[in-house]
Amino acid sequence: MKPLDFARLAREVMAHPRVAFNAWYLKKKGVQMGERVWISGWVDLVLAGESTLALGNDVFIPRTIQIRGNDKGRIIIGDGVSIDSWARLAVAHDATLKVGNRVGIGPYNIFNAFDDLTIGDETMFGPFVNINCADHGVKLGTPMREQMGTYAPVRIGRDCWLGALVVVLKGVIIGDGAVIGAGSVVTRDIPPYTIAAGVPAKVIRERE
């Protein structure tokens, strides 16, 4: 382990006390952190069971966010990622939530990875995007909250743009370079380099 540079640490604490405290706190909680991670907001963090969180280099978290890990779930955040106000990242079971490099996670985004959720490099999310890798059972005779869920992975390609209020359901693949219009509900795969919109989302044209 590299020895601590106490002089540098003291300078950082004096210049940006909140950032220095957040880095110390997250490392104390077992979070793996890269270089130049800037967290001036608060990370409401719970890592239960054997779950883990790893942050890459140059991650930027300016406002409060929520992260929840359960079971053997893994959250892996790439380099240069920004996570905006009140985003919620959750992982459970033996799933991996992997965010690529230079991804922009928007305010109030909810990513629920009960199965694997993979997001490619350079992808952008507008506010209030909801991605779920799970559904509740809906059979009659038993309250839905007591029924077993069903799970399937979600994969979003690189250089995608999902507009405000988009919902992505389990088992969906969104191809590289795709654009999803605001308010859409994505229930099936979207081909690369297309623009899709609607409820359910359908391709309306190709990107030129």
Residue 170, pLDDT above cutoff 90:
yes
Rg from Cα positions in the chain: 18
Neighbours of 44 (CB within 10 A): 12
**Across residues 5-25, what is the average pLDDT?**
70
Query: Which of 29, 136, 188, 205 is the catalytic position?
Result: 136
Tokens coding 10: 């003291």
CB 200 within 8 A of CB 180: no
* Per-residue pLDDT at 4: 53
* Per-residue pLDDT at 33: 94
Tokens coding 16: 């940006």
**pLDDT band at 5, cuts 50/70/90?**
low
- Average pLDDT across the chain, whole number: 93
Strands 150-151 and 134-135: antiparallel
* Per-residue pLDDT at 21: 87
For residues 55-75, one letter each, b for 16 or more C-beta atoms within 10 angstroms of the residue's C-beta and e for the rest, the string is bbebbbbeeebebbbbeebbb
Is residue 136 annotated as a catalytic residue, yes or no?
A: yes
Is residue 174 exposed (0-12), middle (13-18) or buried (19+ Cβ within 10 Å)? buried
**pLDDT band at 2, cuts 50/70/90?**
low
Residue type, 15: A
What CA–CA distance (Å, rounded) separates 71 from 179?
33
What CA–CA distance (Å, rounded) separates 24 from 200?
44
Tokens coding 37: 């991670």
- Give per-residue pLDDT as tens, 30-71: 999 999 899 999 999 999 999 999 999 999 999 999 999 999
Residue 20, pLDDT above cutoff 90:
no
**pLDDT band at 1, cuts 50/70/90?**
very low
Phi, psi angles (nearest 5°) of residue 69? -125, 140
Specify whether the backbone of 164 is left (phi greater than 0), alpha (psi in -120 to 50) or beta.
Answer: beta
- Give per-residue pLDDT as tens, 66-114: 999 999 999 999 999 999 999 999 999 999 999 999 999 999 999 999 9
* Per-residue pLDDT at 16: 74
E strand or H helix that includes residue 80 = none
**pLDDT band at 10, cuts 50/70/90?**
low
- Give per-residue pLDDT as tens, 125-160: 999 999 999 998 889 999 998 998 899 999 999 999
pTM metric for this prediction = 0.90
Tokens coding 50: 């054997």
Domains and CATH numbers, the chain: 34-206 (2.160.10.10)
Angle of helix 17-28 relative to helix 6-15, nearest 10 degrees, comes to 120
